[in-house]
């Protein structure tokens, strides 16, 4: 009897394994694309692994104080001319809010550790702050140790409803940094999980020379991203995955950014994937003339788009003196794009004009959504929505598409669809 069951059991295990890994971004030889001499990523300081380490374990309640104290001790250390130290968060559950990372400190969080945001009674909460106060920090990292750690938002953090917001990481004036190996269980909350902003009026006031790698988010709200780069230079985004929302959101829309013309430059994106969301890759310059952005290996499973490139514009609420519609620099491009269309994807009414005319009757209001950011559903729109002319290169030969009524779709849409 057992002998006869073995093939069935093996098949079930294989099927389960395939299911669990189905959403994992395909790995490629990115090091051939990002040379070790390239400055557009984090460079591990020489001797980091040998820096003095302090182990931390959680206490009952708010753990911010003990983690912050360990960071303060680590940044003050100097070992044989090597500044800084390491802080290891031992496996457990930590409640954190407003942890300020400091120069030359590397936080290693053991696999299986859970971090829960300590919510403020009013206003938004940020778990980790990197250069948020405008004082530059450099040579820092937060990474999983032995595998991924988890950030889990509690049930009462559906902040689109209650007016609060949560960010796991907010980055400002920080250089040579790494965020790596973690999973976030979101609650369709307001704000992107990782936000890159500017804290001043110059290009040096934005995140520079950093890497975001191996980050996954579940239950991401439709209008937000795993990583949103409002401002930043020389950044690598690699192996980002989301259920819902946007994996990589390159959108320079903040008021102060636009007034001071501080945007993005030299952004390299590899292996991003979104399932049941908006799009894995969104590029929107608003009114900033940005530098080069490149992306390779973008996958959409039941999304509106696989790639969405918006045209620049000057918003009505921004003083228009001297401003012109924004752009991305020559050399910006997206390669290896794959879209699997769905029949009932989260969808925004303003995008319906780009949907194949034959499928518009299937677009309708939706109620009872877990994500308050979703009001309508309908069939996927297209693989690539490129509404910025020829400033971002996307070749049809780089696009594959399949799935629901694929014969009704074109691979690349550049303008509203008419009969």
pLDDT of residue 156: 67
Tell me how far apart the 2 most distant CA atoms of the chain are, in Å.
80
CATH 2.60.120.560 is the classification of domain 52-413: no
* Residue (of 138, 31, 10) closest to 84 by Cα position: 138
Which pair of tokens denotes residue 153? 């938002």
Task: Give the pLDDT of residue 315.
Answer: 86
Centroid of chain to Cα 390: 25
Beta strands in 102-251 (DSSP E): 105-110, 114-117, 125-130, 137-145, 149-152, 166-171, 174-185, 194-196, 208-218, 225-229, 232-243, 246-251
pTM, rounded to two decimals:
0.90
Q: What is the CA radius of gyration of the chain?
A: 22
Give rounded-to-5 percent helix, strand, coil for the chain.
15, 40, 45
The whole-number pLDDT of residue 23 equals: 44
The pLDDT of residue 95 is: 96
pLDDT at residue 25 in the model: 42
Q: Break the chain into its structural domains and give their ranges.
A: 52-413
Residue 54's pLDDT is 98
pLDDT at 159: 53
Query: pLDDT for 230-257, tens place per residue?
Result: 999 999 999 999 999 999 999 999 888 8
pLDDT tens by residue, 270-297: 999 999 999 999 999 999 999 999 999 9
Q: What per-residue confidence (pLDDT) applies to 40?
A: 55
Q: Give the pLDDT means over successive 10-residue stretches in the chain (419 positions).
A: 42 38 42 42 90 95 96 96 97 97 98 92 87 95 98 74 80 98 94 96 96 98 96 98 98 89 97 98 96 98 98 83 91 98 96 95 93 94 96 98 98 87
User: Do 177 and 136 contact (CB within 8 A), yes or no?
Assistant: no
Task: Tell me which residue of 145, 64, 126, 58 sits closest to 93, measured CA to CA.
Answer: 58
HSE-up of 353 (CA within 13 Å, CB side)?
5
**Distance between alpha carbon 216 and the CA centroid of its chain, in Å?**
8
Written as six digits, the tokens of 169 are 């990481």
């Amino acid at each position: 009897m057992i002998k006869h069951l073995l093939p069935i059991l093996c098949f079930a295990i294989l099927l389960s394994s395939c299911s669990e890994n189905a959403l994992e971004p395909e790995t490629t030889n990115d090091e051939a694309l990002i040379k070790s001499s390239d400055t557009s990523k984090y460079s591990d300081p020489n001797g980091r692994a040998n820096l003095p380490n302090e182990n931390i374990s959680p206490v009952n309640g708010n753990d911010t104080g003990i983690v912050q104290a360990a960071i303060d001790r680590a940044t003050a250390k100097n070992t044989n001319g090597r500044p800084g130290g390491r802080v290891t968060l031992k496996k457990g559950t930590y409640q954190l809010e407003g942890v300020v990372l400091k120069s030359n400190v590397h936080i290693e969080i053991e696999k299986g550790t859970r971090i829960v945001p300590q919510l403020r009674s009013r206003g938004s909460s940020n778990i980790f702050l990197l250069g948020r106060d405008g004082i530059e920090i450099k040579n820092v990292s937060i990474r999983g140790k032995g595998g991924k750690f988890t950030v889990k938002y509690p049930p009462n953090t559906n902040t689109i409803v209650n007016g609060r917001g949560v960010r796991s990481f907010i980055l400002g004036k920080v250089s040579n940094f790494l965020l790596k190996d973690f999973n976030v269980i979101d609650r369709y909350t307001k704000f992107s999980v990782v936000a890159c902003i500017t804290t001043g009026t110059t290009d040096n006031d934005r995140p520079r020379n950093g890497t975001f790698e191996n980050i996954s988010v579940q239950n991401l709200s439709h209008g937000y991203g795993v990583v949103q780069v409002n401002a930043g230079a020389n950044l690598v985004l690699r192996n980002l995955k989301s259920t819902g929302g946007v994996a990589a959101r390159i959108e320079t829309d903040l008021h102060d950014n636009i007034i001071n013309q501080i945007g993005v430059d030299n952004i390299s994106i590899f292996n991003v994937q979104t399932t049941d969301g908006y799009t894995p890759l969104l590029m929107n310059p608003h009114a900033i003339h940005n530098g080069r952005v490149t992306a390779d290996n973008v996958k959409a499973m039941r999304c509106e788009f696989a790639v969405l490139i918006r045209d620049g514009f000057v918003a009505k609420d921004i003083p228009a003196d001297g401003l012109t519609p924004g752009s991305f620099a020559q050399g910006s491009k997206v390669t290896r794009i794959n879209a699997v269309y769905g029949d009932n994807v989260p969808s925004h009414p303003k995008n319906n004009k780009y949907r194949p005319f034959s499928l518009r009757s299937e677009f309708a209001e939706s109620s009872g959504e877990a994500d308050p950011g979703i009001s309508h559903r309908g069939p996927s729109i297209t693989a690539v929505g490129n509404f910025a002319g020829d400033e971002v290169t996307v070749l049809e030969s780089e696009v594959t598409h399949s799935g629901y009524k694929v014969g009704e779709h074109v691979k690349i849409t550049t303008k509203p669809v008419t009969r």
